[in-house]
Structure 1
Amino acid sequence: MIGAAMAASLALGGCGLSPMYAGGGNGAVARGLAGIEVPAIEGQAGWLVRNALVDRLGAGGAAATKYRLDVRLDDRLESLGVLSDDTIGRERRTLRARYQLVDLASGAIVLDATAGSDAGIDVVSSEYATIAAEQTALENLAKEIASQITTRLAVALRQPR
Structure 2
Amino acid sequence: MSRLLLLAPLALMTAGCGLQPLYGGGPGGSVAQTLADIEVAPIQGKAGWLMDNALRDRLAASGTARYRLDVKLDDRIQGFGVRRDDAVTRERRTLRARYQLVNLADGSVLIDATAGSDAGIDVVQSEYATIAAENTALERLSGIVADQIVARLAVYARGRSKPR
TM-score range, shorter chain: over 0.9
Secondary structure at 1:141's aligned position in 2? helix
Partner of 1:79: 79
> Mapping of 1:86-97 within 5 angstroms?
86-97=86-97
Partner of 1:146: 146
Secondary structure at 1:124's aligned position in 2? coil
Residue 12 of structure 1: CA displacement?
Answer: 2.5
Partner of 1:126: 126
- 2:147, 2:134 → 1: CA distance? 20
The one-letter amino acid paired with 2:109 is I
The one-letter amino acid paired with 2:33 is R
The one-letter amino acid paired with 1:100 is Q
Residue 85 of structure 1: CA displacement?
Answer: 2.0
Please, which runs of 5 or more residues in structure 2 have no aligned partner? none
- 2:89, 2:8 → 1: CA distance? 55
TM norm structure 2: 0.91
Residue 141 of structure 1: CA displacement?
Answer: 0.5
Q: How many residues align?
A: 159
Secondary structure at 1:96's aligned position in 2? strand
Secondary structure at 1:75's aligned position in 2? strand
The one-letter amino acid paired with 1:118 is D
Q: Provide, for residues 43-82 of structure 1, a one-character-per-residue CA deviation record: whole Å limited to 9, x for no partner.
A: 00000001000000112x36x3111000000000111111
Partner of 1:100: 100
Partner of 2:53: 51
> Mapping of 1:12-31 within 5 angstroms?
12-31=14-33
Partner of 2:110: 110
The one-letter amino acid paired with 1:30 is A
Partner of 1:155: 155
The one-letter amino acid paired with 2:22 is M
Secondary structure at 2:160's aligned position in 1? coil
Match of 2:34 among 26, 32, 35: 32
Secondary structure at 1:159's aligned position in 2? helix
Residue 3 of structure 1: CA displacement?
Answer: 5.3
- 1:86, 1:9 → 2: CA distance? 57
- 2:15, 2:66 → 1: CA distance? 32
Q: Provide, for residues 122-160 of structure 1, a one-character-per-residue CA deviation record: whole Å limited to 9, x for no partner.
A: 100000000000000100010100000000100011112
TM norm structure 1: 0.92
